[in-house]
Structure 1
């Protein structure tokens, strides 16, 4: 399907819910803003990730959709969206909303033929290619304001040393994506002893106690900021570090979006879909017959993660530091 671009004045993008997944949709906003400058772009997003678009100069209105909200709230939302008369709806969620609000044009709900192997950023951009929108050079869109930088600097005061900080994100959305905390503790020790680095621990409030196990071992060299930042404030914190070591998690995607080198530890999730892929990024995984299974429950006692050793991570740290 091709669209008449001259008729496009208002655009609605239906994004996703989880922070990492939403970050992977931001190149769609970047492409649309280049293709349709001076046009109005609104975004629907889940409550966890709304800040990503509320701080964006490319987005007119951020509309929060909570799938657990009462049915009457959902009807109100549909009525509101229909009243705006959108010319184009880009549906990255494959939901019923485009059918209910009746835009001039909408993207197809048919799945990407290469969805099983595509980087999710590219899968989302393919929605635009299908309707004739140029996605060449599409990039992530995370806007860090001066207030975010100032807050980050205030948090980092106890360890502030701009040439000497690394970051670690030991958490993840589910237990089956988390490398063993003992591995992170050993990696932290070697970053401190062998590379003279100080360490910032990042994540959400649910990761605080996990990260505290690392902080308690090296209290003068480690700062636990889990749960102390918003998404964009975290981006500002990460900008002060040399690199991030992370599970497959929101901080990993955020680091990718701000061009911070990432050493990503993957277990059951698909590194081809979700892993960072720039020249200064490294993915650590074990190529087992069952991996990536993408299963919520593991039948093999998480061997894909347990086989990863601290030496595997430190090897990539050494390569990264030599390159930079």
Structure 2
């Protein structure tokens, strides 16, 4: 049953199932993927607990791919809807809320729902709504964001495995239609990034890489992105020419995951799509400019990260000249060599 705003998908709701854990999920796709290792470790540590994920509507389909989540609740977009949802959650009698985003609003819903234990990071004048304030890990060896999530889940000392998602069969079937040709070798390019131009490698460089993957590696090229990225994806596909197609806006998140899982290589900016590709174990070349891959890089071994000159930071402005210069410092030759290396580890022919 698809979840609607304020409705928990899954078994019948009610006080009889009291005592579960509400996970207030991250607001962006990449951050959500990076929280999966901690959620899985939490599920293994507490196998009998009921886990309900509170998610923005745009990410609900992503969370339905996650086997560790028992139910999904979609977060309403209005204050009135959030207050009404809090009343419904109060009737569920959750024992604990784990608040992953570091925002005021993310802490407000479980506070209004009167969930007795509420854990999250301090900041944004919200500490008074938390019953347990979590400190980020101080160990330099645990710089990656996945370890911050583990601290909130209380599994900091548990082993964390890379995120693993399996698209459902209906998504796989649609992916086979979008990437036709039994035995054909497909490569995916993701020239967009929701954060903006500061995370986008030049579209002309993506087009050059696409032509070289087609001509040198016999790849067909799928240019992927959201509907908002249709212009840049269309430009890249048109610049590549024959053998390339833009699928921007034509895939749900499960279908996007299934498409990338069928590709010999995925070349992507530091973006949610890059992390999703890694989560389905696709070979990935990830392009970083001003951001820091030691904190937010892909977690799978089948990924190569390239970073331009300059010191990576965790947060950058949507428009950053320094980040743009760093990205332009990555040349197509470097990307092609990285693609060659990662494809040599996994041929990735479509079936």
**Separation in 1, partners of 2:271, 2:138:** 23
Equivalent of 2:192 in 160, 167, 171: 171
Any residues of structure 2 matched to 1:138-217 within 5 Å, and which? Answer: 138-157=161-180, 160-162=181-183, 164-173=185-194, 174-217=196-239
**Equivalent residue number for residue 81 of structure 1:** 89
Distance 1:290 1:33 in 2: 33
**Residues 123-147 of structure 1, C-alpha deviations (whole Å, 9 max, x = no match):** 1012223xx6863244425341111
Paired residue total: 311
Match of 1:271 in 2: 293
- Does residue 19 in structure 1 map to residue 29 in structure 2? yes
Q: Secondary structure at the match of 2:239?
A: coil
Give the TM-score, by structure 1 length.
Answer: 0.87
- Kindly state the Cα deviation for residue 50 of structure 1 after the two structures are TM-superposed: 0.8
The DSSP-based 3-state class of the residue aligned with 2:134 is coil
Q: Deviation per CA, 1:170-203, whole angstroms, max 9, x where unpaired?
A: 1111121111011011111111111111111111
Q: Which moved more, 1:253-262 or 1:207-216?
A: 207-216
**In angstroms, what is the RMSD of aligned CA positions?**
2.5
DSSP-derived class of the 1:217 partner: helix
Q: Secondary structure at the match of 1:297?
A: coil
The match for 1:10 is 20
CA contact (8 A) 1:44 1:63 kept: yes
Match of 1:100 in 2: 112
Change (3 A) 1:43 1:183: same
SS of the equivalent of 2:300 reads: coil
CA deviation after TM superposition for structure 1 residue 113, in Å: 3.8
Instruction: Using structure 2 for the length normalisation, give the TM-score.
Output: 0.80
Distance change >3 Å, CA 26–CA 291, structure 1 → 2? closer
**1:110 and 2:130 aligned:** no
Aligned to 1:5: none
- Kindly provide the CA deviation profile for residues 82-128 of structure 1, in whole angstroms up to 9, marking residues without a partner as x: 11111122111242334333334332333404499721122101222
Partner Cα distance (1:292, 1:33) in 2: 28
User: Conserved in 1, the CA contact under 8 Å of 2:265 and 2:343?
Assistant: no
Deviation digits for residues 189-224 of structure 1 (CA, Å, limit 9, x no counterpart) = 111111111111111111222111222234431121
- In the alignment, structure 1 segments of 5+ residues that lack a partner are 1-7
Structure 1 residue 268: Cα displacement:
1.9
| Separation (CA, whole Å) in 2 of partners of 1:75 and 1:51 | 23
Q: What's the CA shift for 1:77?
A: 1.5
Write out aligned runs for 1:239-250 (5 A). 239-250=261-272
Contact in 2 for aligned 1:35/1:134 (Cα 8 Å): no
- Quote the Cα distance in structure 1 between the aligned partners of 2:313 and 2:89: 42
| 2:244 aligns with one of 222, 231, 240 | 222
The residue aligned with 1:3 is none
Q: Distance in 1 between matches of 2:46 and 2:160?
A: 15
Once the two structures are TM-superposed, the CA of residue 255 in structure 1 deviates from its matched residue by 1.0
Aligned partners of 1:126, 1:51: CA distance in 2, in Å? 25
